[in-house]
Structure 1
Amino acid sequence: MKKESIGKWISVLHRQFQIYLNRELKDCDINSSEYIFLVNLYEKDGISQEQLSANLFINKAATARAISRLETLGYVQRTRDPLDGRAYLVTLTTKGIEMRDFIKTKLSYWTQTISTGLTTEEADDFIQKIKQMSMNALAETKGDE
């Protein structure tokens, strides 16, 4: 019997999530590759671009592009780190903060949608398994891009 590909279904889920986010965030001019930086800043505002990259396992160039676009759109601002003149600190603007509830509502709805038919225990178990798979993948690639 042929074994199902886990990667295939993770890929399908990820692509559908991108489509959903792009549709829901279109009026805000934010896309699926940028929203995650806002979400991370909602957890800890005023961190460096380098720390954002590390937190999200996204390379520095992609982070710089996303932050630059979010800055152009008025959602974040970058300032030189007073402790390290080479680094930028990224902080949310009022406009960025005002997006928090909207984005969190969209993410919550998506989680509910994809969890339909699962018990709370099954969903929690799945989260633990997908975290373990992510750690395995990061160990294999060492976070390289």
Structure 2
Amino acid sequence: MTDLVAFRLIHLADVISRAATAVFEARFNLNNSELRALIVLREEQPLTSAELSRRGRIDKAWISRSIDRLEKRRLVNREAHPTDSRMTLISLTTQGVELMTELTPIATQRQKRLLSGLSPNEAFRVIEILERNAQDLLSNP
């Protein structure tokens, strides 16, 4: 069964995750959940923790801890939600933006290494097809 694409993709995701941890945790003291949260917030902010969890594919149990750590490091801010007092909105601080500016070239270079032998268009086309087909499997078991 190790020749199943799903098995191989899970293994690939695990290897990529561990490789990212080796670099970003050692160099920037960021675990994968924190890194994913920062990446999502770089693209869109402010977000609620639930939305950040969903978009970053960060387990709900980890999102609170990740936000707490990032806030203690002054990389993110929490603000009261304007219409729902039960929620807060999370956004990058100036230090968070600066850190992301420092991280981006490293992540870009690592992606080039990962995609070596493929064009980015080829890689993203395959990923888009797999995501669409996986979503169909989820919607129509």
TM-score scaled by length of structure 1 = 0.79
Cα distance, 1:56 vs. partner? 2.7
Task: Please name the residue that 1:86 is paired with.
Answer: 86
Task: Please name the residue that 2:19 is paired with.
Answer: 20
Task: Please name the residue that 2:121 is paired with.
Answer: 124
What letter matches 2:6 in structure 1? G
Seen in structure 2, the aligned counterparts of structure 1 residues 67 and 125 have a Cα distance that, compared at 3 Å, is: same
Count of aligned pairs between the two proteins: 138
Seen in structure 2, the aligned counterparts of structure 1 residues 130 and 52 have a Cα distance that, compared at 3 Å, is: same
Seen in structure 2, the aligned counterparts of structure 1 residues 18 and 49 have a Cα distance that, compared at 3 Å, is: same
Seen in structure 2, the aligned counterparts of structure 1 residues 58 and 132 have a Cα distance that, compared at 3 Å, is: farther
| Conservation of the 8 A alpha-carbon contact between 2:115 and 2:123 | no
Aligned counterparts of 1:93 and 1:3: Cα–Cα separation in 2: 44
TM-score scaled by length of structure 2 = 0.81
Aligned counterparts of 1:117 and 1:91: Cα–Cα separation in 2: 36
Secondary structure of 2:74's match? coil
What are the ranges of 5 or more consecutive residues in structure 1 without an aligned counterpart? none
What letter matches 1:24 in structure 2? V
What are the ranges of 5 or more consecutive residues in structure 2 without an aligned counterpart? none
Any runs of at least 4 consecutive aligned residues in structure 1 with deviations exceeding 6 A, and if so which?
none
Aligned counterparts of 1:3 and 1:13: Cα–Cα separation in 2: 12
Q: CA RMSD in A?
A: 2.4
Aligned counterparts of 2:82 and 2:60: Cα–Cα separation in 1: 20
Cα distance, 1:135 vs. partner? 4.1
